[in-house]
Amino acid sequence: MPILIKASLSPCQSFLKQWKKKRCWTQDESWMGLHTIQRRKLTGYGIKPQRKVQWDFTYLWLYGAVEPLTRASFFYEFTHLDTVCFEKILELFASEYPEDLHLIQVDKVGFHNSLNLSIPENVILLFQPAYSPEVNPIERLWGYVKEQLKWLRFERIEELRAAVQKELKNLTKEVIASLTGWEFILVAISVAEF
């Protein structure tokens, strides 16, 4: 008579099974300031572009995460950049999607891997190679937002905050896909079955 052995799940398998979905995100921070973003302008030959600029270096920090596969996004603003703020962002992010397990690609800046950092149970941080912002698609999203704000002059931080929030709300899934949906990332997520 055959003996039936009930296979038990490994701790890793049982941990993965408890989540409704597994999702992959890219995360980074960017500062936006009152200092006018200057870009090239087309003018007639020999004509120097004339624009008033703001030289005030008052700024705010945006923390953001995008999911290239579903084009979902999560943004939050803080006044500074440190371990406490990053921990709070992870907490807010995890509570936004509590039933899912999140693999979040981050860079190796000190506060991302601080020994004092408390990481929510449904978040796994994946560190990209050092000094390689080109492998993190959210960098292109920050560039896009800043491009929308070029040559705009803000007198107060509240005006800048309103303009940034408007640009973030105007981000469509198509724009997010065009900026972050790199083929090698989508293929890697698919192959990993995450």
Angle at 178 between CA 154 and CA 172, to 5 degrees: 60
CB 16 within 8 A of CB 101: yes
- Measuring CA to CA, which residue among 151, 66, 75 is closest to residue 104? 66
- C-alpha 118/C-alpha 87 separation (Å) is 6
Mean pLDDT by 10 residues, the chain (194 residues): 53 72 93 75 75 74 94 93 94 95 93 91 93 90 92 87 94 93 83 74
What pLDDT, on a 0 to 100 scale, did the predictor assign at position 47?
A: 77
50, two tokens: 């004339």
Q: Which CATH architecture has domain 21-35+53-189?
A: 2-Layer Sandwich (3.30)
What pLDDT, on a 0 to 100 scale, did the predictor assign at position 133?
A: 85
What pLDDT, on a 0 to 100 scale, did the predictor assign at position 12?
A: 67
- C-alpha 76/C-alpha 128 separation (Å) is 22
The residues, ordered by sequence, that sit 6+ positions from 11 with a Cβ below 8 Å of its Cβ are none
What pLDDT, on a 0 to 100 scale, did the predictor assign at position 32?
A: 87
Residue 41: strand pairing partners:
none
Domain boundaries, the chain: 21-35+53-189
DSSP letters spanning 34-46: SS---------TT
CB 128 within 8 A of CB 113: no
- C-alpha 35/C-alpha 25 separation (Å) is 30
Rounded to the nearest 10 degrees, what angle do helices 138-148 and 173-180 cross at?
120
